[in-house]
C-alpha cells in the first residue's frame, strides 16, 4: 500500500480508522476502548506518513523546477555574454565599467552545485537572486556512486546514462574527441574573449576557449554543451571539465602530435627516401611535404614560395627540428623571431605524416608575415612572388642572427652565392663626341669591380615582340634558358639607367650555392602600369651546367657546377590579378607534383617547361649523386 500515491494512503488510513470505529461500537464494551485507541493511533500514523510523502513530492517538484530554471538562466547568461562580447571592442574586458553583464559562477561544497548570480547592471531581475541548483544527476557523479537522489533519472537521461557509447572513465564523463573537427592551424585565441592566454581547445566541437577555472569560458562551455574534454594548447595537457582534473590517456597522443608534430633525426634523414603515403582522418591519402595550402583570400603568391622553400631539404631539415633555433637570443621586443617560429611550425605541419587532414592552413604563418613586414605583404591582397621571396629570405636570415657580411645562417648556407660586378660609367649620350672622349679618360669613367653576394639571380627576358599569326593571335615568343643565363658570363654588357647617369655592367659568378634560385623578370613597371612579358623559357629540367659562367680560377676550385630543377613557380594570367601555382619534385618518389592552393595533382616533367616560369629553385649535384647518375 505504501507504494501507492500518498493521497491514497491517507484515504486508506481514514477507511481503516472508520472500520475500526464501527467495530468499537459493536457492543462488546470490553474490546471497544482498546480498539478505539488502536484505530486512532494507526489513523494518526497513516496520516503522518501521507503528509510526509506529499511534502517529499512537493520538494522534488520544486527542486526539479528550480534546477530547470537555473539551467535556463545559465544558458541565457551565456547567450547574453556572447552577444555582449560580439559588440564589445576586441580588447573589451569583462569587468570594465559599462559592461552590461557579468556573471559569477561558483560551485558549492556539494559536487556540481552551481550557483549563478549576477553582479552588474542590466541583468534581468527575475534571475538576480542566487539560485541554488540541486546536485548534478547521478549519471554525471563520480562513477555513479550516488545512484539515488531526486534528479537521478532526469540527469541520466540528459547526459547519456553510464555505459552508453563512449567508454565512461573516471567521473563517468564520456571522453569523446571528434578528430574530424579539430584544426590547429588557426590562431590560438579564445573564441569568446579573443585572448591568447591560457587557451583550451574543446575536443568535441573544436572551438577554442580561455581558462578552465570556475568563471572561465571553457568551464561555461563544458557545462552548457556537455563537452567535457579540453586540450590546453600551450602545455599540451588534457583536462576534463567541469570536474577539472587532468586526463592522462595515451589514446589522445595523436591529437597532441597534430597540434605539435615532432621529428627525430632518424625520421628526418629518411624523409627523402620514403615514398609512403599517409592517410588523413577522412580517408584521403597524401604524401607528406606535398600537401595543399589554403588560399585564405589572395595569398597564393606566398603559398607558392612557402611550398617551394618547404621542399628544399637542408632548409626544411633545419626547421623541422626546433632545437636548431630554439636558443637563439633576440633583443627584447623583437617580433621578427615570430617568423622563424611560425615557419618552423608550418614546416612540421606540411611534413606531418599523421595529420588529420590532407592540407594545411598557412594562417598563423601569414599573420606573422603581415606583422613582420609591416603590412607590405598581406593575406588579402595579391603580392609579387619575387618581392616576397627576397624579403622573406632576408628576414629569416636576420631573425636567425645572421648579418650582412660575416655571420652565416642556414639561409645563406643554402642559397647564397657570390659574383663580381663590373661597372663602367658612361658619359651622357647627348654630349658632343670630343667631350665624351675626354671624359672617358677620367678615373671616374673607368671600370670598377665589386664582389657581391646574392640570394637569387635575376634573369632578364628579351623584349617580347608583338607578332600576330594569321589568326590574329599573339605569338608567344620563346627563349632558351642559356641565352638569358649569358648575362653572367663576364662578357655580356648590359646598360643600366638611373635618372641622370648611365652605366654598363657585366657580371661573373664566383661562387655557386648548393641551391640556386632563378627569378625570371617578367614584370616591368612603367609610369602607369605593370606589364608582363609572356615569353616562355625553354629549359631542361636536369643537368644544367653553369661552369662556363665562372671565372677560370674559380672553375678550378669549384668541383660541382651541375644543377637539377626541384621547384618551379609559375605565374598565370594578368600582372596584377594573376594566380600562382608551383611544380615540386618529391625526392622520395622522384615524381613531379603541381600544387595550386589546395589542389595537388601529379604532372609529367615535360609539362613543366610549357609554363610561364617565374621563380625556380635548382639543386646542385654532389659528387656522389653524379657518379650514381653516370652509373645508371
* Residues of the shown chain interacting with Zn ion in the complex, contacts defined by CB under 5 A: 202, 204-205, 227
Q: Which is nearer to Zn ion, 209 or 319 (CB)?
A: 209
The CA distance from 207 to 190, in Å, is 8
Q: Are 535 and 494 in contact (CB under 8 A)?
A: no
Min separation Cβ 245 and Zn ion, Å: 18
Question: Whose Cβ is closer to Zn ion: residue 67's or residue 227's?
Answer: 227
Q: How big is the CA angle at 368 (ends 408 and 235), to the nearest 5 degrees?
A: 95
Of 225 and 445, which CB lies nearer to Zn ion in the complex structure? 225
Which residue, 181 or 379, has its beta carbon nearer to Zn ion? 181
Q: Which of 207, 202, 206 is nearest to 222 (CA)?
A: 202
**All cell numbers assigned to 581:** 601555382
Instruction: Pick between residue 195 and residue 394 the one whose CB is nearest to Zn ion.
Output: 195
* Minimal distance, residue 69 CB to Zn ion, in Å: 24
- Closest distance to Zn ion from the beta carbon of 115 (Å): 23
- The C-alpha cell 626546433 sits at 322
Q: Which is nearer to Zn ion, 204 or 338 (CB)?
A: 204
| Smaller CB separation from Zn ion, 227 or 397 | 227
Cα torsion 356, 360, 364, 367 to 10°: value is: -160
Q: How far is the CB of 176 from Zn ion (least distance, A)?
A: 10
Q: How many CA atoms lie within 13 A of 395 on its CB side?
A: 25
User: What does the alpha-carbon distance between residue 457 and residue 409 come to, in Å, rounded to a whole number?
Assistant: 19
When the beta carbons of 218 and 287 are compared against Zn ion, the nearer one is 218
Beta bridge partners of residue 554, listed in sequence order = none
Strand 245-247 and strand 229-232: the pairing is: unpaired
Smallest Cα–Cα separation from 388: which of 317, 306, 452?
A: 306
Instruction: Say if residues 346 and 186 touch (Cβ distance below 8 Å).
Output: no
Least distance to Zn ion from the beta carbon of 221, Å?
Answer: 6
Q: Quickly list DSSP for 328-340.
A: ----TT--THHHH
- From residue 566, give the alpha-carbon distance in Å to each of 93, 504, 591, 605: 51, 33, 10, 11
Measured from the CB of residue 93, what is the shortest distance to Zn ion in angstroms? 23
- Smallest separation, CB 76 to Zn ion (Å): 19
Going through 417-493 in order, the beta strands assigned E by DSSP cover 417-426, 448-454, 457-460, 478-480
- Between 239 and 325, CB nearer to Zn ion: 239
CA–CA gap between residue 159 and residue 164 (Å, rounded):
10
Query: Between residues 200 and 563, which has the closer beta carbon with respect to Zn ion?
Result: 200
Question: 293-306 burial, b if ≥16 CB within 10 A, otherwise e?
Answer: bbbbeebbbbbbbb
Dihedral of the CA atoms 236, 238, 241, 247 (nearest 10)?
-150
Query: Phi then psi for 577, rounded to 5 degrees?
Result: -110, 10
Using CB positions, name the residue nearest to Zn ion.
202
Closer CB to Zn ion, 202 or 372, in the complex: 202
Radius of gyration of the chain (CA): 38
Residue closer to Zn ion by CB (options 186, 467) is 186
User: Closest separation between CB of residue 258 and Zn ion, Å?
Assistant: 17
Q: How far is the CB of 166 from Zn ion (least distance, A)?
A: 15
The residues pairing with 359 across neighbouring beta strands, listed in sequence order, are 292
Strands (DSSP E) found in 309-468: 359-360, 417-426, 448-454, 457-460
Work out how close the CB of 214 gets to Zn ion at its nearest, in angstroms, rounded to a whole number. 18
Q: Does residue 459 sit in helix, strand or coil?
A: strand
CB of 219 to Zn ion, least distance (A): 12
Residue 181 Cβ vs Zn ion, minimum distance, rounded to whole Å: 9
Nearest-approach distance from CB 205 to Zn ion, in angstroms: 3
Smaller CB separation from Zn ion, 202 or 546? 202
- Backbone phi and psi for residue 131, each to the nearest 5 degrees, phi listed first: -110, 125
The set of long-range contacts for 185-191, using a CB threshold of 8 Å and a minimum separation of 24, is 185/294, 185/349, 185/360, 185/361, 185/362, 185/363, 185/364, 186/361, 186/363, 186/364, 187/363, 187/364, 187/367, 188/233, 190/217, 191/217
Closer residue to Zn ion (CB): 182 or 400: 182
Tell me how far, at minimum, the Cβ of 480 lies from Zn ion, in Å: 59
Amino acid at each position: 500500500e505504501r507504494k501507492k500515491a500518498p493521497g491514497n494512503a491517507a484515504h486508506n488510513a481514514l477507511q481503516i480508522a472508520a472500520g475500526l470505529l464501527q467495530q468499537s461500537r459493536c457492543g462488546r464494551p470490553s474490546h471497544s476502548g482498546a480498539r478505539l485507541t488502536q484505530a486512532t493511533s494507526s489513523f494518526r500514523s497513516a496520516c503522518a506518513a501521507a503528509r510526509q510523502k506529499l511534502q517529499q513530492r512537493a520538494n522534488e517538484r520544486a527542486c526539479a523546477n528550480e534546477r530547470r530554471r537555473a539551467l535556463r538562466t545559465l544558458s541565457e547568461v551565456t547567450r547574453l555574454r556572447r552577444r555582449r562580447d560580439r559588440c564589445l571592442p576586441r580588447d573589451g574586458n569583462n569587468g570594465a565599467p559599462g559592461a552590461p553583464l557579468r556573471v559569477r559562477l561558483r560551485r558549492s561544497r556539494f559536487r556540481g552545485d552551481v550557483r549563478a548570480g549576477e553582479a552588474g547592471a542590466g541583468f534581468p531581475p527575475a534571475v538576480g537572486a542566487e539560485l541554488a541548483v540541486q546536485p548534478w544527476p547521478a549519471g554525471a557523479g563520480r562513477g555513479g556512486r550516488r545512484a539515488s537522489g531526486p534528479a537521478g533519472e532526469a540527469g541520466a537521461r540528459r547526459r547519456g546514462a553510464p555505459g552508453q557509447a563512449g567508454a565512461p572513465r573516471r567521473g563517468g564523463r564520456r571522453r569523446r574527441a571528434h578528430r574530424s573537427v579539430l584544426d590547429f592551424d588557426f590562431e590560438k585565441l579564445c573564441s569568446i574573449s579573443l585572448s591568447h592566454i591560457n587557451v583550451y581547445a574543446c575536443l568535441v566541437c573544436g572551438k577554442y576557449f580561455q581558462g578552465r577555472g570556475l568563471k572561465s569560458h571553457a568551464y561555461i562551455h563544458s557545462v552548457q554543451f556537455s563537452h567535457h574534454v579540453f586540450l590546453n594548447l600551450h602545455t599540451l595537457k588534457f583536462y576534463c571539465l567541469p570536474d577539472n582534473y587532468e586526463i592522462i590517456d595515451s589514446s589522445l597522443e595523436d591529437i597532441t602530435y597534430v597540434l605539435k608534430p615532432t621529428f627525430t633525426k632518424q625520421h628526418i634523414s629518411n624523409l627523402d627516401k620514403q615514398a609512403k603515403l599517409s592517410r588523413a582522418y577522412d580517408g584521403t591519402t597524401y604524401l607528406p611535404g606535398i600537401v595543399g595550402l589554403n588560399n585564405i583570400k589572395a595569398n597564393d603568391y606566398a603559398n607558392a614560395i612557402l611550398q617551394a622553400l618547404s621542399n628544399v631539404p637542408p632548409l626544411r631539415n633545419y626547421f623541422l627540428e626546433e632545437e636548431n633555433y630554439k636558443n637563439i637570443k633576440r633583443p627584447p621586443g623583437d617580433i621578427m623571431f615570430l617568423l622563424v617560429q611560425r615557419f618552423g611550425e608550418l614546416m612540421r605541419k606540411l611534413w606531418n605524416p599523421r595529420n588529420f587532414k590532407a592540407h594545411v592552413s598557412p594562417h598563423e604563418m601569414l599573420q606573422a608575415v603581415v606583422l613582420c613586414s609591416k603590412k607590405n605583404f598581406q593575406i588579402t591582397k595579391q603580392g609579387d612572388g619575387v618581392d616576397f621571396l627576397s624579403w622573406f629570405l632576408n628576414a629569416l636570415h636576420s631573425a636567425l642572427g645572421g648579418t650582412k657580411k660575416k655571420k652565416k645562417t642556414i639561409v645563406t648556407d643554402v642559397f647564397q652565392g657570390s659574383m663580381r660586378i663590373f661597372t663602367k660609367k658612361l658619359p651622357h649620350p647627348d654630349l658632343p663626341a670630343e667631350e665624351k672622349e675626354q671624359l672617358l679618360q677620367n678615373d671616374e669613367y673607368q671600370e670598377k669591380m665589386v664582389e657581391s653576394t646574392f640570394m637569387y639571380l635575376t634573369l632578364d627576358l628579351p623584349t617580347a615582340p608583338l607578332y600576330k599569326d594569321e589568326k590574329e593571335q599573339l605569338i608567344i615568343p620563346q627563349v632558351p634558358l642559356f641565352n638569358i643565363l649569358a648575362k653572367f658570363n663576364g662578357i655580356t654588357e648590359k646598360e643600366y639607367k638611373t635618372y641622370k647617369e648611365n652605366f654598363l655592367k657585366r657580371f661573373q659568378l664566383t661562387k655557386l650555392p648548393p641551391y640556386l634560385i632563378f627569378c625570371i623578370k617578367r614584370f616591368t613597371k612603367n609610369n602607369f602600369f605593370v606589364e608582363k612579358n609572356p615569353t616562355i623559357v625553354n629549359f631542361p629540367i636536369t643537368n644544367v651546367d653553369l661552369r662556363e659562367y665562372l671565372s677560370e680560377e674559380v672553375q678550378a676550385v669549384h668541383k660541382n657546377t651541375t644543377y637539377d630543377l626541384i621547384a618551379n613557380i609559375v605565374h598565370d594570367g594578368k600582372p596584377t590579378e594573376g594566380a600562382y601555382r608551383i611544380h615540386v619534385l618529391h625526392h622520395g618518389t622522384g615524381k613531379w607534383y603541381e600544387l595550386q592552393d589546395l589542389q595537388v595533382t601529379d604532372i609529367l616533367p615535360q609539362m613543366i617547361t610549357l609554363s610561364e616560369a617565374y621563380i625556380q629553385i635548382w639543386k646542385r649535384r654532389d659528387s656522389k649523386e653524379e657518379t650514381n647518375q653516370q652509373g645508371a
